[in-house]
């Protein structure tokens, strides 16, 4: 049985897509049921817009900095699936999909590269569903996490 109408190859999307978003340095959300307001303390990574839905493959998290050396604080990064793409979230429209725990580390532009993290999602999703991300502890000044959603539309 196909995962979407008219498509028997659910793992292969017709239109690949990559969308990144930077999680605001000071933006935090400790609520795992409704992360807050989109664009303020949780962020839209991508929207499934294919006529027959889409396939969410994975999210890669990279740490970026505008200085040569920076310490990364330990935090949880929450990934949500939602039926809304703007405004305030609630437990009726936004659902926790996964939590990634990232440890503290010190990064140097000269000698130590940041560790990248990938969270496999690997599910087909219907049209007009949105992926949101939020962090539970603010990043240090001049630094931020960037989420990269790898997906495709049917």
Give the pLDDT means over successive 10-residue stretches in the chain (154 positions): 51 79 93 94 94 93 85 93 97 96 85 87 94 95 92 90
Domain that holds residue 93: 30-143
Say if 107 falls within a structural domain.
Answer: yes
Q: How many CB atoms lie within 10 A of CB 6?
A: 8
| Tokens 């990934």 belong to residue | 79
pLDDT of residue 1: 40
Secondary structure letter of residue 122 according to DSSP: E
- Structural domains in the chain (count): 1
DSSP string, 32-100: SS---BBTTTBEEEEE---TT-EEEEEEEEEEEESSSEEEEPPEEEEEEEES-SSSB--TTTEEEEEEE
Give the pLDDT confidence score for residue 13 in this predicted structure. 67
In a domain, 5, yes or no: no
Q: Could you tell me which of 101, 98, 145, 100 has the C-alpha nearest to residue 122?
A: 98
Collapsed DSSP state (helix, strand, coil) of residue 151: strand
pLDDT for 2: 45
Whether 77 is in a domain gets the answer yes
Residue 150 covered by a domain: no
Residue 6 in domain: no
pLDDT value at position 129? 96
């Amino acid at each position: 049985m196909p995962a979407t109408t008219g498509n028997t190859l659910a793992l292969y999307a017709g239109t690949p897509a990559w969308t990144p978003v930077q999680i605001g340095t000071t933006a935090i959300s400790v609520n795992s049921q409704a992360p807050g307001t989109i664009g303020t303390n949780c962020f839209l990574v991508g929207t499934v817009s294919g006529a027959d839905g889409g396939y969410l493959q994975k999210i890669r998290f990279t740490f970026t900095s505008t200085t040569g050396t920076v310490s990364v604080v330990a935090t949880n990064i929450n990934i949500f699936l939602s039926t809304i793409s703007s405004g305030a979230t609630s437990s009726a429209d936004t659902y926790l999909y996964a939590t990634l725990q990232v440890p503290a580390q010190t990064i140097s532009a000269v000698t130590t590269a940041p560790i990248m993290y990938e969270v496999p999602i690997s599910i087909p999703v219907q049209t007009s569903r949105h992926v949101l991300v939020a962090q539970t502890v603010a990043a240090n000044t001049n630094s931020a996490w960037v989420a990269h959603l790898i997906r495709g539309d049917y």
